[in-house]
Amino acid sequence: MTNLAPSRKPLPIEVRGTSRLPLGMTPAQFLRDYWQKRPLLIRNAFPHFTPPIAPEDLAGLACEEGVLARLIRHDEARRRWQVKTGPLAEADFAKTGNAHWTLLVQDVDKWDADVAALLEPFAFLPSWRVDDIMVSYAEPGGGVGAHVDQYDVFLLQGLGQRHWAISTDPHAPKDFRPDVELKQLARFEPTHEWLLEPGDMLYLPPGVPHDGVAFGGPCMTFSVGMRAPSRAELTGDLADYLAERLDENQRYADPDLAPAKAAGEIDRTALARLRAALPFAAPLDEETLRDWFGRFITRYRNAQTPAPPAKPLGETALLKRLRDGAQLLRHPWSRMAWSRGKATATLFANGQAWPAPPALAQRLCAQRGFTPDLPLAQDELALLLALVNEGHLLPHRPRHR
């Protein structure tokens, strides 16, 4: 007998609802094979589905104060999109016509218990991962345009038909159209297209380009959307949380301070003291810690900061001023520090950072005004020019007596 070469059958992207509704498979199978991985269209996920909210009641909700609603009109001929945010007025609906517009209302589950009941079949997901049920109503041709969402979404067709196009191409371009506030994709080439009927449901993981357009007649779609905080949000909130629990009397301390070897340098001993004060920052590499601290400490408790000059100087103009004997005076509100890195040093001033030759960085921190030695190396000139154009250094020609 020849050896069997095991092969994995590709997973279907379309299934039919079964007795294990609404996913067409068990939650465990769905989570293993599709959740956060690949799209899935479930035909007849909710058999005989009837929308738990009428279009008129959705429109009424969109007119209430505190309800997040958008009315989006598409002028196909002029490739123009018009967005009106809620609360909407009855008059807004009088002008819509019978094609190419859609109404979207977020958090409808919070306002309507019948809509909230749609969440029950999604109890296999942690409830804190669920964001809301957004309900859209659209007339033929209505939609929000091709876009990408950052969150998983279950798009349940509630009324009428909707044409869905998606792209499963991992290299699909994700750049936005610059002219539209809806963050629509500049380019969209679908790999799959379907017409969804009431009760059909399309699951999309984050980052899949998609476009849903109402087809034939009035259309309602119920989007069960997830939420997932960004790493930036998690980090920011954790930092606030930890900070709130720390005693203000515990401060950066340096009772072991030795006389400064180089003016303004954030040296290794200072960084070691920082590490002791921030035990939770232990995984941060030296470069990151140094870069953050340099920016932080040079803007910390500054009552004011220099303003850039009205007209920036060019390299040639600065060189001419220096050749004519101009000094560079440090702005009184400019606070500088520097540190040595692996390849080069960094100069910090009021929260900004620039690569800097160590000798120049030290001199800038040490002297309130100085006359640079000419000729300048390119990296020296670039740094001085940047500092002049941010208002940290002021070229000044001393008067001859």
Distance in Å, CB of 310 to Co ion, minimum: 45
Stretch of 60-68, 148-156, 296-304, 374-382 contacting Co ion, by CB under 5 A: 148-156
Please give the single-letter amino acid code of residue 39: P
CA distance linking residue 70 with residue 86, whole number of Å: 6
Tell me which residues in 31-50 interact with ligand SIN (CB under 6 A). Answer: none
Distance in Å, CB of 218 to ligand SIN, minimum: 13
* Closest CB to ligand SIN among residues 210, 335: 210
> Does 145 engage in binding with Co ion (CB under 5 A)?
no
Distance in Å, CB of 149 to ligand SIN, minimum: 5
DSSP string, 123-166: TTS-GGGEEEEEEEEE-TT----SB--SS-EEEEEEEEEEEEEE
Distance in Å, CB of 246 to ligand SIN, minimum: 41
Cis ω before 332 (30° cut-off from 0): no
Report the length, in residues, of the chain. 401
Q: How many CB atoms lie within 10 A of CB 220?
A: 22
Contact 142, 74 (CB under 8 A): yes
The token pair at 89 is 């007025």
Strand arrangement, sheet containing 393-396: 369-370, 327-330, 393-396
- Which residue, 49, 30, 29, is CA-closest to 40? 30
Which of 29, 38, 145, 149 binds Co ion (CB under 5 A)? It is 149
CA distance linking residue 383 with residue 371, whole number of Å: 14
- Which residue, 60, 115, 109, is CA-closest to 88? 60
* DSSP reduced 3-state for 203: strand
* Closest CB to ligand SIN among residues 149, 380: 149
* Closest CB to ligand SIN among residues 219, 289: 219
Name the binder of 221 from Co ion, ligand SIN, none, CB < 5-8 A by kind: ligand SIN
CA distance linking residue 160 with residue 212, whole number of Å: 13
CA distance linking residue 256 with residue 293, whole number of Å: 20
Q: β-pairing, 153-166 with 210-226?
A: antiparallel
How many residues interact with ligand SIN (rule CB under 6 A)? 11
Stretch of 86-94, 142-150, 293-301, 352-360 contacting ligand SIN, by CB under 6 A: 142-150
Tell me which residues in 218-247 interact with ligand SIN (CB under 6 A). Answer: 221, 223
Name the binder of 52 from Co ion, ligand SIN, none, CB < 5-8 A by kind: none
* Closest CB to Co ion among residues 204, 336: 204
CA distance linking residue 30 with residue 22, whole number of Å: 11
Distance in Å, CB of 210 to Co ion, minimum: 6
> Does 143 engage in binding with ligand SIN (CB under 6 A)?
yes
* DSSP reduced 3-state for 229: coil
Stretch of 143-151, 179-187, 261-269, 316-324 contacting ligand SIN, by CB under 6 A: 143-151
List alpha helices for 36-192, DSSP H.
Answer: 55-62, 90-94, 108-111, 113-116
Distance in Å, CB of 153 to Co ion, minimum: 6
* Closest CB to ligand SIN among residues 182, 284: 182
* Closest CB to Co ion among residues 228, 277: 228
Tell me which residues in 158-217 interact with ligand SIN (CB under 6 A). Answer: 210, 212
Stretch of 136-144, 184-192, 319-327, 339-347 contacting ligand SIN, by CB under 6 A: 136-144
* Closest CB to Co ion among residues 14, 149: 149
Which x/- pattern, by CB under 6 A, does the window 90-109 give for ligand SIN? ------------x-x-----
Q: Phi, psi at residue 60, to the nearest 5°?
A: -60, -45
Distance in Å, CB of 13 to ligand SIN, minimum: 18
Name the binder of 136 from ligand SIN, Co ion, none, CB < 5-8 A by kind: ligand SIN
Residue labelled with tokens 């018009």? 82
Looking at residue 308, what DSSP letter applies?
Answer: P
- Tell me which residues touch ligand SIN (CB under 6 A): 102, 104, 136, 143-144, 149, 153, 210, 212, 221, 223
- Tell me which residues touch Co ion (CB under 5 A): 149
